[in-house]
Chains A and B, each alone.
Chain A
């Protein structure tokens, strides 16, 4: 009874101190929504009107048909011809044009001397270059198969039947959303609680608190309750925005989605506390949270690079990061409707790490909570 009373008193104190700082409260309430809306639209990875030029040695109606076929696609825009293949390097060097298509003599002729088009892609940004390559090759092969079919009326083309599972239209919004949710939860949860604890220590409140009959665990529990309430609000905002604006409703079990978000929030809070336990100033805490929590999770979680493209020996390490677990499970639950048993590893990983990080943070606070 005493325990609950202590925690409730601390929670009330913390809630009051949050609500009296209007500017912070406003930022805390609206930041997740703004980030979600702004970057849900801005962070796209699809090709959009990539400019390309052509070296057309064939100059036939067929070659012009191919170029206009590529031009029609929303991915590409045709910007004219180069007179000679020596100009390819200079055409690409400005970065305005990203691709050159070389159409050789004999293009489209049946028989062994038929020439195949060549692609020259600016690979300064390798990810973009790969995407351009896939898109262009896809259009060109489709076109060539169609041309072949015109010559051979019998259905001799051997095209494969392709199905895109769980994302039939290849909506590219599925790439940034899990990562954005991760970034919002990670930054806000890790920093909110630890900042407020660190601040009390820096200003000497912690010494006063230690004179009262509350324990370290009760202080942390009491202070975390208002922030957990804020996090619940953030989960609701994220859920509502991603389903109403981006049409990404939770396909799997909703309680499981909630559980995942809560596990991740607790995990981030524990890591925030871990850093708070070892640094003294708010400045160091902020830089520590960015460097140790934000940057590794952004790069290792599969938000920027899918884990399957990383160096082979680093992939198991990357899988251990909380962000990776969160994004994996998020994709599973929200897009593929996978159940609890399918997500045992990510959820277990988050929980185990929460306990360990909290334990170390607790030890750190025991040593230096009252020191300034």
Chain B
């Protein structure tokens, strides 16, 4: 117990004397949270080009409708389709509406000509969104299919992605700190010196787990407070449930750091392994995609990915206000992956010859 206390003091002192690290841990996440959420709005801004072959009252009325609609930030007139397409190629225009000749005459004859709409589709989701809005506008207000969006009255994507950002920062900090602090001590020979003391490996690792998970908890709590004050971010469930989840989430992350530390001989290897492991876990975690869009094998990979379960549990607590006892599955999976990783690390460490 005394030994554990000594290790805790050592870790805390080490961290508090590293001013740059403290700055990275406690100030940088706040800087990020101060800027990035503005990228998560759900605006639509369409830059349109109009090719008007009819030049009539009716065709000008169509163009004017787009000028007045809020989503169209610029409506440019082009005389030929080629010019408009050149502008699309340059990246200045997103969508072209071509009004055919005799459009007005046919409209008066009750036999309207179709409009030609071309949309830049290298980002298919954005293209479909723009097309959907444009067709809705041009067909003139007879919105016949009513759509109700449930569970998200403001239709904002900010809370959803703020959860991703909080989880992302937590994951990066926890894994990097754990792995590199052990490898650094290994590389510098500090571990060899510990070998000559009565300190055992379990106490040493336990000290790191305790200090680093508390540091991560502090970072998360601070970030949460910041989001609440600046963006009015509210947790639908209980706040301490979420904080408990973050504390729990540190366990698999720190264990992953431990595995990487055991496998690598120097910090460079450690860094490369961290990048590879973290990138895989982050991109596979449904942070930026939907589970249902992934192929089958990628969906199954979630069962070994604690980041997925953390996101899932946080979304439930924060967005839907689910109680802790309904999150048994997620909590169990996070603990299980953590235990598995920690066990693996311990086994590898035991087997490697000449290691403490």
Interface residues, chain A, CB within 8 Å of chain B?
Answer: 21, 23-24, 27-28, 31, 34-35, 38-39, 41-50, 88-89, 92-93, 116-131, 133-134, 137-138, 140-141, 144, 156, 158-168, 170-172, 174-175, 183, 187-188, 191, 195-196, 199, 278-284, 286-288, 290-292, 295-296, 299-300, 302-306, 308-315, 317-318, 328, 331-332, 335-338, 342
Contact = CB atoms under 8 A, between A and B. Distances in A.
A279 B298 CA distance: 37
Given A123-B155, A281-B180, A283-B176, 4 more contacts: A21-B268, A163-B117, A314-B38, A336-B122
Contacts of A158: 112, 114
B157 A126 contact: yes
11 contacts: A31-B272, A41-B298, A42-B289, A116-B144, A162-B119, A195-B268, A281-B180, A283-B21, A300-B36, A300-B39, A335-B122
Most chain A CB within 10 A, of B89, B157, B269, B272, is at B272
Given A287-B24, A290-B176, A338-B90, A175 B149 contact: no
Contacts of B265: 23
Contacts of B131: 162
Main secondary structure on chain A at its contact with chain B?
helix
A295 B117 contact: no
Given A291-B32, A311-B39, A118 B145 contact: yes
B121 A164 contact: yes
A326 B53 CA distance: 36
A335 B289 CA distance: 22
Given A48-B293, A305-B40, A310-B38, A283 B180 contact: yes
B129 A130 contact: yes
B149 A129 contact: yes
B120 A116 contact: no
Given A290-B176, A304-B288, A125 B39 contact: no
A282 B266 CA distance: 11
A309 B124 contact: no
B44 interface: yes
Given A42-B283, A137-B147, A291 B29 contact: yes
Best-buried of A38, A138, A309 by chain B (most CB within 10 Å): A309
Contacts of A308: 43-46, 94, 126
Interface in B116-154: 116-129, 131-132, 135, 138, 144-152
Given A121-B148, A137-B147, A290-B176, A43 B288 contact: yes
B254 interface: no
Given A137-B147, A164-B121, A126 B155 contact: yes
A118 B39 contact: no
B32 to A, nearest CB: 6
B41 A311 contact: yes
Contacts of A119: 145-148
Contacts of B127: 164, 167, 170
Interface in B70-93: 85, 88-91
Contacts of B132: 134, 137-138
Contacts of B288: 43, 303-304
Contacts of B85: 165
B89 A296 contact: no
A187 to B, nearest CB: 5
Contact of B157 (A127, A306, A314): A127
